[in-house]
Chains A and B, each alone.
Chain A
Amino acid sequence: MTRTTTSGGAATVGDNSPLGLYRSMLRIRLIEEAIAERYAEQEMRCPVHLSIGQEAVAVGVCAELRRTDKVVSTHRCHAHYLAKGGDLKAMMAEIYGKAAGCCGGRGGSMHLFDDDVGMLLSLPIVASCMPIAVGAALALRQEGTDGVAATFFGDGSIEEGVFHESMNFAALHRLPVLFVLENNLYSCYTGLADRQPDRPLADLAKAHAMAAETADGNDLEAVRAATARAVARGRAGEGPTLLVFDTYRWREHCGPNYDNDIGYRTEAEFQGWKAGCPVERTAAALRAAGLLDEALEAALRRELGAEVAEAFDFARNAPFPAADSVKDHVYG
């Protein structure tokens, strides 16, 4: 991804032109499809939680962040990491368990981070990410910056007590936190209706006197607009915002396959969401604006395909970490 060259700390994460953001979404899609395709080779020996179908949230939110703003993610972190500008080769090497992985192979796909671009941490324990982001926001403020911290999490995560503890704390201290709730309707194989009473999710913020917005999570511009307002509030010292983005995970909760046949959701439901594919919607908008045609699309796919292939080659051929390094870094 090309980075804009505006001055140091204020630089956006990537190219925020319409085509640049489409490219970012398509890139995430192609990377995750490649993971899905190659997972059966049994060389990526760790769990993978794909975000295929949820790309607009990751890209739309990160588009409004600076490189120096912080992001804390969950088990489903690939798209967030990539949208924030995380290094693709380091991600693929991590998933392949290699020394060049962002965690040196120690974390696997659920622990992606890239300090150079503000991708602070990803954590595989549900909701564990939220207070970490609040703490990052606290530090940013203590340092005297106007930086913000965003934490991504799913609809299941808001069932944990720490969600409320984090919102209460952030609201009390008016901390610049974006609580980004990706509502994909499921926690593993259990639908929302079996886990929560029916109420608008954004109302949860009201209990903590916090701002909240709900938007179509598959609409890139809607995600951007809501995020931009939340970021402005955060930078202005007006406190945290809960952003609720409705979206849908296309593949199984964990792993490369489709699972509409196992009984917890229907093929028809999936097809409905697939018809509103966020990547395709963004492409359609570009085409309508005369910014994308078949030739450009093909060129983009060729270019991205080459990058993805190169990253996989790199990861597959990279060396494993040396066995005697296993004891390093338990303490400083």
Chain B
Amino acid sequence: MADTRLMNVAAALREATDLCMARDPRVFVMGEGVADPKAIFGTTAGLLERYGRDRVMEMPIAENGFTGVAIGAALLGRRPLIIHQRVDFALLALEQLVNNAAKTRYVSNGRHRVPLVVRMIVGRGWGQGPAHSQSLDALFAMIPGLKLVLPTTAREAKGQLIAAIEDDDPVMMIEHRWVHYATGHVPEGYYTVPLDGPRRVREGGDVTIVATSYMLLEALRAADTLAQAGVQADVIDMAVPRPFRPQLVVDSVRRTGRLLCIDTGFRLFGIGAELVASVAEQALGSLAKPPVRLGLPDHPTPSTRALLTDFYPTALSIIDAAAELADVPVERIAGPREALAVELSKLPMDVPHPTFRGPF
């Protein structure tokens, strides 16, 4: 692995953008803060100096307007990358994204294409509250014509962003900011990770766990603990919910008979709902137990941490759900579960990373 470096997801995304801009002069970046000193949590750092203001374009606060501008430019063959510091701000651009980005290829009978990438960041933590921390992956996933990618590891995040920028269709990339801190080995140079559906991250035959984004990290932690109790989880990263390709999940459930889905959004009407439906449609007879979905409860996200103690799924809630699905007696899992619980209780529950000090 001589050609890899240890870096976090934020740095990997920055590197991907840099490589794409160096390679293809049509690629340009638009967003509020892309050219400011904070550089979107570092993900655009140095790009202004390297490529100039014409390609690292600071935007007025006009999300729907500049998204339309990006689509117009994309129709003429430019390759815009839009970045929003919060998913919540991108809501103002839904009109352009849903009505134009998603439909223009279709409505033009295949003549037009919209090579647009929109990066959006989920702002969980530090009391961001109801309108600054939303995970709305499912909202984007439900629109045919938009692709959706949810990166988790640094190596893949880099390749997925490059693939998204190369893609001739509009790609939404939703980054959970707790994932930005996740480090991993990242190869040098230009490479892509295809945007073609889920992939297996851990092999097992007892229970199928499908997770996305930050919840994949929680699920992998859970899988380690489950393994200590003799339960082997088949862990699948639903990194690309759109295009929707559930086959790997369906096949896994055919082997395990048990399905647990976790994503970062609301439990109801979420990505898990679509997966459970697909499994029910295609492999109902394989299910040994009713499938389980974990996700956010049915209310907005309060700011105060006091109301968030049971809000987000954790490795512990994943362990509990998986153990029950796999018929593991409580005594068998109690020891390793408790050890993990002690470990987790040492960390504040409202920060993306132990080094985080607020305020945004």
In the bound assembly, the distance between CA atoms of A330 and B299 in angstroms comes to 6
B311-A255 in contact (CB<8A): no
Q: Is B132 an interface residue (CB 8 A)?
A: yes
Q: A residues within 8 A CB of B305?
A: 45, 97
Q: B residues within 8 A CB of A126?
A: 61, 89
Q: Is A258 an interface residue (CB 8 A)?
A: no
A96 (CB) vs chain B CBs: closest residue: B304
Task: Name the segment of A6-14, A106-114, A225-233, A290-298 touching the other chain.
Answer: A106-114
Q: Which residues of chain B from 108 to 136 have a CB within 8 Å of any chain A CB?
A: 126-132
Closest CB of chain A to B131's CB: distance in Å? 5
B131-A105 in contact (CB<8A): no
B303-A107 in contact (CB<8A): yes
B359-A321 in contact (CB<8A): no
A47-B307 in contact (CB<8A): no
Q: B residues within 8 A CB of A42?
A: 357-358
A45-B127 in contact (CB<8A): yes
Q: B residues within 8 A CB of A326?
A: 297, 299, 302, 307, 310-311
Q: Is B37 an interface residue (CB 8 A)?
A: yes
Over the window 45-87 of chain B, the binary record of Cβ atoms lying under 8 Å from chain A Cβ atoms (1 yes, 0 no) is 0000000000000111111110000000000000000000000
Closest CB of chain A to B337's CB: distance in Å? 21
A255-B359 in contact (CB<8A): yes
B304-A187 in contact (CB<8A): no
Q: Is A310 an interface residue (CB 8 A)?
A: no
Most chain A CB inside 10 Å of its own CB: which residue of B36, B91, B128 = B36
Q: A residues within 8 A CB of B350?
A: 45
Among the listed B38, B298, B309, B358, which residue makes an inter-chain contact with A47, where contact means beta carbons less than 8 Å apart? B358
Q: Is A144 an interface residue (CB 8 A)?
A: no
A159-B37 in contact (CB<8A): no
Q: A residues within 8 A CB of B37?
A: 189, 262-264
Q: Is A58 an interface residue (CB 8 A)?
A: no
Q: Is B33 an interface residue (CB 8 A)?
A: yes
Closest CB of chain A to B301's CB: distance in Å? 9
Q: Which residues of chain A from 239 to 262 have a CB within 8 Å of any chain B CB?
A: 254-256, 262
Closest CB of chain A to B308's CB: distance in Å? 8
B63 (CB) vs chain A CBs: closest residue: A160
Q: A residues within 8 A CB of B32?
A: 187-188, 190
Q: Is A200 an interface residue (CB 8 A)?
A: no
A190-B36 in contact (CB<8A): yes
Q: Is A127 an interface residue (CB 8 A)?
A: yes
Q: Is A323 an interface residue (CB 8 A)?
A: yes
Q: Is A198 an interface residue (CB 8 A)?
A: no
Q: Is A325 an interface residue (CB 8 A)?
A: yes
In the bound assembly, the distance between CA atoms of A157 and B88 in angstroms comes to 16
A330-B61 in contact (CB<8A): no
Q: Is A211 an interface residue (CB 8 A)?
A: no
A160-B304 in contact (CB<8A): no
B306-A106 in contact (CB<8A): no
Closest CB of chain A to B268's CB: distance in Å? 12
B64 (CB) vs chain A CBs: closest residue: A161
Q: Is B25 an interface residue (CB 8 A)?
A: no
Q: Is B92 an interface residue (CB 8 A)?
A: yes
Q: B residues within 8 A CB of A325?
A: 307
Among the listed A97, A156, A263, which residue makes an inter-chain contact with B304, where contact means beta carbons less than 8 Å apart? A97
A190-B33 in contact (CB<8A): yes
Q: Is B189 an interface residue (CB 8 A)?
A: no
Over the window 186-209 of chain A, the binary record of Cβ atoms lying under 8 Å from chain B Cβ atoms (1 yes, 0 no) is 011110001110000000000000
Closest CB of chain B to A285's CB: distance in Å? 34
Contacts A124-B129, A264-B37 hold; do A195 and B60 have CB atoms under 8 A apart? yes
A125-B131 in contact (CB<8A): yes
Q: Is A80 an interface residue (CB 8 A)?
A: no
Q: B residues within 8 A CB of A98?
A: 304, 306
Q: A residues within 8 A CB of B64?
A: 161
In the bound assembly, the distance between CA atoms of A156 and B61 in angstroms comes to 6
Q: A residues within 8 A CB of B132?
A: 47, 110, 124
A188-B303 in contact (CB<8A): no
Q: Is A48 an interface residue (CB 8 A)?
A: yes
In the bound assembly, the distance between CA atoms of A98 and B358 in angstroms comes to 18
Q: A residues within 8 A CB of B60?
A: 156, 159, 195-196
Contacts A159-B61, A195-B58, A327-B297 hold; do A124 and B131 have CB atoms under 8 A apart? yes
B36-A330 in contact (CB<8A): no
Q: B residues within 8 A CB of A39?
A: 358-359
In the bound assembly, the distance between CA atoms of A111 and B359 in angstroms comes to 16
B298-A160 in contact (CB<8A): no
A105-B297 in contact (CB<8A): no
A264 (CB) vs chain B CBs: closest residue: B37
Q: Is A270 an interface residue (CB 8 A)?
A: no
Closest CB of chain B to A18's CB: distance in Å? 35
A189-B38 in contact (CB<8A): yes
Q: Is A222 an interface residue (CB 8 A)?
A: no
Q: B residues within 8 A CB of A190?
A: 32-33, 35-36, 58
Q: B residues within 8 A CB of A330?
A: 298-300
B358-A255 in contact (CB<8A): yes
A107-B130 in contact (CB<8A): yes
Closest CB of chain A to B123's CB: distance in Å? 10
In the bound assembly, the distance between CA atoms of A45 and B32 in angstroms comes to 24
Contacts A195-B58, A264-B37 hold; do A323 and B358 have CB atoms under 8 A apart? no
In the bound assembly, the distance between CA atoms of A103 and B298 in angstroms comes to 19
Which chain B residues have a beta carbon within 8 Å of chain A's beta carbons? 32-33, 35-38, 58-65, 88-89, 91-92, 126-132, 297-300, 302-307, 309-311, 350, 357-360
Q: Can you name 10 A-B residue pairings with CB atoms under 8 Å?
A: A45-B358, A97-B304, A106-B307, A157-B61, A190-B32, A190-B33, A195-B58, A255-B359, A262-B37, A321-B304
Extra inter-chain contacts (10) besides given A110-B132, A330-B298, CB under 8 Å: A39-B358, A105-B304, A106-B303, A127-B61, A160-B92, A190-B33, A195-B61, A263-B37, A264-B36, A326-B299
